[in-house]
Amino acid sequence: MIKAIRGMRDILPPDTVRWQWVESVAREVFDLYGYREIRLPLLERTELFSRSIGEETDIVAKEMYTFPDRKGDSLTLRPEATASVLRAVLENRLEKDAGVKKLYTMGPMFRYERPQKGRFRQFYQINCEAYGVDAPELDVEVILLLLHILKRLLLGEMRLLINSLGCPECQVKFKAALGLFLINREGLCDDCLRRRTTNPLRVLDCKSVHCQEILHNAPVIKDYLCPDCAAHFARVQELLDRFNVAYEVQPRLVRGLDYYTRTAFEVVALGLGAQDAVAGGGRYNGLAKELGGPDLPAIGFAIGQDRLLEVLPQDLGADQQNRVFVAALGELARDRAFTLVEELRRKNLAGEMDFDGRSLKAQMTLADRLNATYVVILGDKELETGAAQVRPMRKIAAQGGGRSPAEQEQVPFEGLVEYLLKKINSDASNL
């Protein structure tokens, strides 16, 4: 039997209902803030990521799924979405439009790394990207948008971490000071030994507890911010305070990619252990120019759906569809049931039935599993009298009782669909 590739898995019902619910909530909030969806290819030219993410990042050096196509061009399954969105913006000249360009995308990303809880080789993200304005107000709007989504998803207790990475000029001075601090430090992991000469900022992103202890007295970038970057970060904090947003300034927060400038942020959640970040992002003002485009200010974030769903309650997004199950006993009854189910669907009521000729008890069990609101029972007697038995399911279950026939009502076939519509609408209004 052929199995799924390690680190890539099937997402099956009923779990897919939770995924759809998360995505629908995100879409609603994006709409509130004026963002429009963009859909992107999974494959891009490898240079897009090597130039944008950075040659010395773990993603480019170790984790990308890269291969030559039949013409010898190097292609890569996208490991993140920001570079792809910006490529689409520049290629299609979207930056020419006036005002802030607000886009979002959802879908799978691919990284070759060790699979573990909440981390897969094919993983899913919800991405937000905004272009065209360097104002700190846009930084705060993007952060508020992220928190709005997470609160609507009932994430629970979470922490917002923020920092400023400064502009390229700030980073040059800071990297020089950090490099001097690291040059004679012993005990760094192999990755950090390599990074301290190629890109010292990456050392700050190391998850090794030992490396973090060595960095305890390392320089922090806030001491190297130019006046403009310092004022920008102060304004971000002022606006977060205005909206009573709790946050923590983390002076060593750098994110994992080379393109970040100025504001950087993460949201971490309880219950995920060491890998507790469910979302993160920041500014990447120089990336458009790096990719051959204009000097285009930009900011965005990514929500990791896999990690997020690890900590969201299991019953969120549960199927609340009002579903009618038609239980048929006998060949003639099944034929009538098939017509009835389709009539229900044409009235926008979810209808289901059994095609295997099982017993009434087995069909009722199936109706329960499908979370049916009502069951319509059809048999020889019902065909003879011209009236079906209608049994409410959720009401009986809520009362803790069995499925008593006393709860059933006899309803003529003529007007049966209208009767069910009326009952379901009445139930909804009484909730």
Q: Taking Cα atoms as reference points, which of 90, 69, 66 lies closest to residue 78?
A: 66
Residues 6 or more apart whose Cβ sits within 8 Å of residue 159: 246, 248, 267, 268
Please state, in angstroms and rounded to a whole number, the distance separating the CA atoms of residues 310 and 308.
Answer: 5
Q: What is the DSSP letter of 222?
A: G
How many Cα atoms sit within 13 Å of 385 on the Cβ side?
11
Owner of token pair 């990074």: 195
- Distance, in Å, from the CA atom of 424 to the CA atom of 260, rounded to the nearest integer, reads 52
Query: 303 Cβ partners below 8 Å, 6+ apart?
Result: 26, 125, 126, 127, 146, 149, 150, 278, 279
Which domains are assigned to the chain? 15-167+226-311 (3.30.930.10), 323-426 (3.40.50.800)
Using only C-alpha atoms, the chain has a radius of gyration, in whole angstroms, of 28
Q: What does DSSP assign to residue 35? A: -
The candidate with the shortest Cα–Cα distance to 133, out of 105, 91, 99, is: 99
With a CB cutoff of 8 Å and minimum separation 6, the contacts of 4 are: 10
User: What does the pLDDT look like over 105-160, one tens digit per residue?
Assistant: 999 999 998 877 777 999 999 999 999 999 999 999 999 999 999 999 988 889 99
The closest of 171, 174, 160 to 265, measured between CA atoms, is: 160
In whole angstroms, give the CA distance from residue 344 to residue 416.
10
pTM given for the model: 0.85
Name beta bridge partners: 162. 249, 265
Half-sphere exposure of 75 (CA within 13 A, CB side): 11
Per-residue pLDDT of the chain (431 residues; tens, 9 = 90+): 999 989 999 999 888 989 999 999 999 999 999 999 999 999 999 999 888 776 666 677 778 989 999 999 999 999 999 999 999 999 999 888 778 999 999 999 999 988 777 779 999 999 999 999 999 999 999 999 999 999 999 888 899 999 999 999 998 898 888 888 888 777 778 777 777 777 777 787 777 777 878 777 888 889 999 999 999 999 999 999 999 999 999 988 887 667 889 999 999 987 666 568 899 999 999 899 988 899 899 999 999 999 899 888 877 766 566 889 999 999 999 999 999 999 999 999 999 999 999 999 999 999 998 889 999 999 999 999 999 999 998 644 443 434 444 478 999 999 999 999 998 887 766 65
- d(CA 33, CA 35) in angstroms, rounded, equals 6
Give the distance, in angstroms, between the CA of residue 131 and the centroid of all CA atoms in the same chain.
21
Provide the pairing of β-strand 248-249 with 66-68.
Answer: unpaired
109 backbone dihedrals φ, ψ, rounded to 5°: -125, 165
> How far, in Å, CA of 72 to CA of 6, rounded?
27
Q: Check: CB of residue 317 under 8 Å from CB of residue 188.
A: no
Give the C-alpha separation, 189 to 179, whole Å: 15
The dihedral over CA atoms of 205, 299, 40, 292, expressed in degrees to the nearest 10, equals -90
Q: Name the strand (E) or helix (H) holding 124.
A: strand 122-131
pLDDT tens digits along 221-259: 899 999 999 999 999 999 999 999 999 999 888 876 678
Q: Are 229 and 173 in contact (CB under 8 A)?
A: no
Whole-angstrom distance, CA of residue 172 vs CA of residue 406:
80
**407 C-beta neighbours (distance < 10 Å), count:** 15
